Chains A and B, each alone.
Chain A
C-alpha cells in the first residue's frame, strides 16, 4: 500500500523555467510534509517542509503547496537551474506518538533534469 505517491518518474525542464513536482498521499493522519533532494550514492538533503495547518511555504526559489482536501502537495522551483537536477522525494510524517514518532513515508521519487 503506497501511502505517498509521486506519479511522474521524471521531469525535464529548460533552465530558467518553472519546475513543478507533484505528490499525492492517502493517509489523512499525516501532519507534516517534506521535500528532499538526492544525488546518486548520497543521502537525501532536506529542501523545504510544510505542516498540515498551512497551505503554502516559501523559501527562496522553492515553494511547497499543500491541498489537504485533494491530499496533494507540489514543489515549485523557479527559476530552475541545471544544479537542481537530482531526484526529488516527497515524504510525509504521521502524528502518532510513541517510539516511532517522526518516521517518514517516502514517495518513489521524481528525477528532475534541468537543461541549460
Chain B
C-alpha cells in the first residue's frame, strides 16, 4: 500500500527557533499534499493544501508567513514553523494524495510530528 513518511517524529526546541518538518511520499508521486494540526483530544484541522510547483493554499486563520510550505518535488513537501512559540506546540500531520487514482482514493497519512516549544 501507499506509504507516507514524515520526519522528524518529535521535536523539542526553544522559543524563537524555526522548525522544518518533512513529508515524503515513498511509492507514488504526490502532486497534492495536505498539512494538518491536531490539539489534544481534538480533531485534525486542515492547515493548508500543498501543490507541487505552485503556492500552497492556506485555510482561513492560518498564518502563511508563520507556516511556510514548500512542495518543490513530486515526493516531498516541507512545513517550516518560523520563530516557533509555545502556542505552536501541537501534533502536525501530513498526508498525500495519489493523483492517478484520486477520484475515490483516500489520503495516506504520515505518522505525525510532535512539536514541543519550550
Contact = CB atoms under 8 A, between A and B. Distances in A.
Contacts of B114: 41
Given A42-B112, A100-B57, A34 B106 contact: yes
Contacts of A103: 34, 46, 49
Interface residues of A, number: 23
Interface string B74-118: 000000000000000001010101000010101111111010000
A33 B95 CA distance: 16
Contacts of B49: 99-100, 103
A86 to B, nearest CB: 14
B23 to A, nearest CB: 10
Contact of A109 (B43, B54, B57, B108): B43
Interface in A63-103: 89, 99-103
B102 A102 contact: yes
B112 A41 contact: yes
16 contacts: A34-B106, A36-B109, A42-B112, A43-B4, A46-B106, A46-B107, A46-B108, A49-B106, A51-B104, A99-B32, A99-B57, A101-B32, A103-B46, A104-B34, A106-B44, A108-B42
Interface of A: 32, 34, 36, 41-46, 49, 51, 89, 99-109
Given A36-B106, A41-B91, A43-B112, 12 more contacts: A34-B106, A36-B109, A43-B109, A43-B110, A43-B111, A44-B44, A45-B109, A51-B104, A89-B43, A99-B51, A101-B102, A103-B49
